[in-house]
Structures are given as structure tokens and as C-alpha cells.
Amino acid sequence: MNYHKIVNAILVVFLLPLTSLAKDYNASLFGVKSDGLTLNTRSIQKGIDFISANGGGRLVFYVGRYLTGSIRLKSNVTIKLEEGAVLVAAPSIYDYNSSAGIKALVSAEGQKNIGISGKGVIEGRGTLLLKNMDELKVRGFLLDSLTVQPALLGFSNCSQIAIDSVNMIDAAGAVQRFSNCNDIKIATITIKSNNSNDPAVVFSENTGVYFIHSYVEVPGKPMVWTGDSRELKLEKTIDSKGSALQP
């Protein structure tokens, strides 16, 4: 008993300074605008790069609409979307990039200790994006490299991923893709998207995955899992009919 108390005390003493190291940075510091008009891609990326290079922390978005194209998360950076903050996806397919073969609005490849948290929204504007892609296709401009619909989140070869509380809506295709990642915690998120029959959350060969207390409402499958099913912990995560998600 005493032993546990001592261990706890030591843990608290050692962990407190660690948690307080995670510094918060307002998005506006990097010139990010909340007007819903300014395409913030490179300012947000600058924020992520800067925070990652300076010991890590959270890039915090307060209420507003933040238009962006593809951004890449870097180690020790969490995007914090406060209630009322909406990360709004760019309506042109030219504003999206792929990393490790996954095209996504927010991507990460080979990073560690990353996340998205808060009660805000990631809004894919998939309906508009798909319409604009169709127009390019009609004119013959939609090259093969552009035909893939971007996910909202796409992580590969990452570890210590925390997706917490965020609402994800209106993706053009799949909502989240995870490939070869380790230690993923997805909790209390809401997904509502009806643009495609793609599965909402696609797990490929990941380990240590928790997907808990979440709601997934899509026309297609709420989730697909490939890999060792013992690596997936599902808890109180349901689809729009109230059925628990199955591996």
C-alpha cells in the first residue's frame, strides 16, 4: 500500500512537469484566420512545424471557420479544436496531398505523440468537393492522380495517436484511415458523413487500438479492420441504428 503511494507520488512529481511542458499556441499567432474565406493551409502547417520543432504543444483553434487544404501533423503536436471551431476543408482537389499513399485533410506519416482533441468540428465539405471534381472530370482535367477522394484523417506508421471528442462530418470518401500505426486512442468522437459508400474508419495492420464511446453514422460500413483483431478494443461505439461496431 505504502509502496503504491510512493510510486504514485513519484509519478505525479515526474509527470506534472512533463504535462505542463505541452504548451498551447493560439492559431492566430501564425496568422491563421477564422473568417471561413482565407485558405490557411500554409499558416497552419507553419504552426505545426514550429510547435513540433520547439518541444511540442497544442495548436488551439477557438470559435470560427478555418478553411484549409491538406496539412501534416508532426510529432508532439495536438490540434485542439475548441467548441465552435470548425476546420473547413478546401473545395478544390488540388489542395490535397497524399502521404504514404493516403490522401487526407489531416495526415501524418512516421510521427509520434500526435492528436486532435476538443469539441470542435472537422468539416470535409465532401458534397462540394465531389461536385468540383466532377466538373474537372467533364473537362478532362481530372488526372488519375487526382481521382482519389481525401479522407479527413489519414495516419500511417505513427504511434501514440489520440483522437478525442471531435465531430467529423461530410467527408468526400472514408473519414479516417490508419495504416501500420501503434497505440491509437479514439474516444467520444462523432462521425456523420453520407457522401460515399466507403467505410468510415479504415484500420489496416495497426496495433494497440482503442475505439471507445463514439458514434458513427455513414451509408457504408462504419468500420473495417484488417490485422490481428486482438489489437482492437471497442467499447460503447455504435452506429446510427445503435448497434455496436464489430471488428
Partner 1 sequence: MRKTILTLFLLNAILYTEAKDYNIADFGARADGVYLNTSIIQGAIDYITTHGGGRLIFPRGSYLTGSIYLKSNVILHLESDAVLLGSVNVFDYVKDPYIGWMSMIFALKQENIGITGKGMIDGRGFYTANNMVSNIHKGIFTDPLKLDRPNETNRPQNIYFRECENIIITGIMLKDPASWNQTYDQCRNIYVDSIRVDAKNYWNNDGIDIVDCSDVVIKNSFFDAADDVICFKSHDATKICENVVVDNCVGRSSANGLKFGTVSRGGFRNFKVTNLTIYDTYRSAITFAAVDGGIIENIVVDGVKSTNTGNVIYLRIGDRWSQNKVPYMKDIVIKNVYAEVPAGKPDAGYLYEGPVEDLPRNISPASIVGLPQHKIKNVILENITIVYPGGSNPNYAYRGLSKAELDSIPEMPAAYPEFSQFKELPAWGFYLRHAEDITFRNITLTAEKKEYRPAIVADDVKNIFFEKVEVQEPESKKKNQIFLHNSTRRKK
CB-nearer residue toward partner 1: 73 or 163: 73
* C-alpha–C-alpha distance, residues 68 and 86, integer Å: 10
Closer by beta carbon to partner 1, 46 or else 213: 46
Nearest to 88 by CA among 71, 110, 73, 112: 71
Strands 64-68 vs 85-89: parallel, antiparallel or unpaired: parallel
Q: How far is the CB of 50 from partner 1 (least distance, A)?
A: 5
Residue 98: CB minimum distance to partner 1, A: 14
What minimum distance in Å lies between the beta carbon of 100 and partner 1?
A: 20
The contact set with partner 1 (CB under 8 A) reads 29-31, 37-39, 41-43, 45-46, 50, 69, 90-95, 132, 135-136, 139, 141, 143, 146
CB-nearer residue toward partner 1: 90 or 151: 90
Minimum CB–partner distance for residue 214 and partner 1 (Å): 32
Nearer to partner 1 (CB atom), residue 136 or residue 187: 136
Distance from C-alpha of 98 to C-alpha of 52, rounded to nearest angstrom: 20
46 membership: H or E segment, kind and range: helix 41-53
- Answer for the pair 1, 9: CB distance below 8 angstroms, yes or no: no
Dihedral of the alpha carbons of 107, 97, 105, 223, in degrees to the nearest 10:
-70
Find the farthest-apart pair of alpha carbons in the chain and give their distance in angstroms, rounded: 74
Output the smallest distance, CB 134 to partner 1, in A. 11
